[in-house]
Amino acid sequence: MTAPEQPGVAGATRAPVTPPDPADASTGQLITRLTEQISTLVRSEARLAQVEVTQKAKRLGMGAGLFGGAGLFAFLGLATLITTAILALALVLPAWLAALIVAVVLFAVAGVLALIGKKDVEKGSPPLPTEAIAGVQADIATVKEGMGR
């Protein structure tokens, strides 16, 4: 014996039934559809926010790493500059000039890394999902506009 089929109800082996036209739908059906749509919208916005925060966190991490690299090169430049001073005092020979050139190059590299790192940190700050927030605000405005009719 099989159970009698109810029109408009999707079974496990049947394709989903298309929702009725909103003009013909009952209040209960409209509320059910609204609840489903809001649930889907909230999940979609949450996924968007998660992706956006992840991207910004990666940018912040990259900027922090570049700042660390800039600090390392600045330290190496200072060590080389100290070596230059020692060589200049100990031996008044062209060797100190070579050490000075190396120090200048290391400081230039540190400056470039610091500027790139600063730019990446500024792009990633603040780590808020601004696109998702704007999407939610637009959704709220649309719902308010629809309810005002």
123 lies in a domain? yes
> How many other C-beta atoms lie within 10 A of the C-beta of residue 129?
20
Its domain, for residue 66, covers 44-147
E strand or H helix at 107, and its extent? helix 95-124
Q: Look-up: residue for tokens 């910004």? A: 56
pTM over 0.75: no
- Residue 48 lies inside a defined structural domain of this protein: yes
Domain count, the chain: 1
Residues 6+ apart with CB under 8 A from 128: 53, 56
Q: Reduced to 3 states, what is the DSSP secondary structure of residue 128?
A: coil
Percent of the chain with pLDDT over 70: 79
- Residue 10, judged by CB atoms within 10 A of its CB (0-12, 13-18, 19+), counts as exposed
Give the residue from 144, 83, 73, 127 showing the smallest Cα distance to 105. 73
Q: Quick check: is 33 in a domain? A: no
Please report whether residue 69 resides in a domain: yes
User: Is 85 among the domain residues?
Assistant: yes
Q: What is the mean pLDDT of the chain?
A: 78
pLDDT tens readout for residues 49-106:
888 888 888 888 888 899 899 999 999 998 888 787 767 766 666 777 777 777 788 7
Does residue 29 form part of some domain?
Answer: no
Residue 21 within any structural domain of the chain: no
Average pLDDT on 18-26 reads: 71
Contact yes or no for 117/63 (Cβ under 8 A): yes
